[in-house]
Amino acid sequence: MHIVVCMKQVPDSAQIRVHPVTNTIMRQGVPTIINPYDLFALEEALRLRDRLGGEVTVLTMGPPMAEDSLRKAMTYGADRAVLLTDRSFAGSDTLATSFALAAALAKIGQEFGVPLIVFTGKQTIDGDTAQVGPGIAKRLGLNQLTYVSRIADLDAAAGTITVERRAEGGVQVLSTRMPVLITMLEGVNEIRRGSLDDAYRAARATVIKWNAADAGITDLAKCGLRGSPTIVKKVFAPQARAEKVRQVPTTDLTTEALAATVMAEIFKCQPGLESELMRFSAGQ
Partner 1 sequence: MIEERFDAIVVGAGPSGNAAAYTMAKEGLKVLQLERGEYPGSKNVQGAILYADALEQIIPDFREDAPLERHVIEQRLWTMDDTSYVGMHYRSEDFNEEKPNRYTIIRAQFDKWFSGKVREAGAVLLCETTVTELLRDTQGRVIGVRTDRDGGTAFADVVILGEGVNGLVGQRSGLRPELKPDTVALAVKEMHFLPREVIESRFNLKGNEGVVIEAMGTITDGMTGTAFLYTNQESISVGIGCIVSDMVEGGRSPYGLLEAFKRHPSVRPLLENSECKEYAAHLIPEGGFNAMPDLYGDGWIVVGDAGQFVNAVHREGSNLAMTTGRIAGETVVWLKRRREATSKENLAEYQRRLNETFVMKDLKKYRRIPDFLHRNKQVFGLYPKLISAAAQTWFRVDGVDKRTKEKQIFKALRQGRTLPGLIGDAVKLARSWR
**Residues interacting with partner 1, by CB under 8 A?**
75, 193-197, 199-200, 203-204
Minimum Å gap between C-beta 33 and partner 1 is: 10
Of 177 and 193, CB closest to partner 1: 193
Minimum Å gap between C-beta 193 and partner 1 is: 6
State the greatest distance between any 2 C-alpha atoms of the chain, in Å, as a whole number: 77
Residue 111: φ, ψ to 5°? -80, -40
Minimum Å gap between C-beta 188 and partner 1 is: 22
Helix (H, G, I), strand (E, B) or coil at 250: coil
Closest by alpha carbon to 183, among 119, 102, 117, 105? Answer: 119
Of 32 and 60, CB closest to partner 1: 32
Q: Where does residue 239 rank: exposed (0-12), middle (13-18), buried (19+ CB within 10 A)?
A: exposed
Tell me if 34 sits within 8 A of 119, measured CB to CB. no
Within 8 A by CB and 6+ apart from 200, the residues are none
Of 68 and 126, CB closest to partner 1: 68
Minimum Å gap between C-beta 280 and partner 1 is: 47
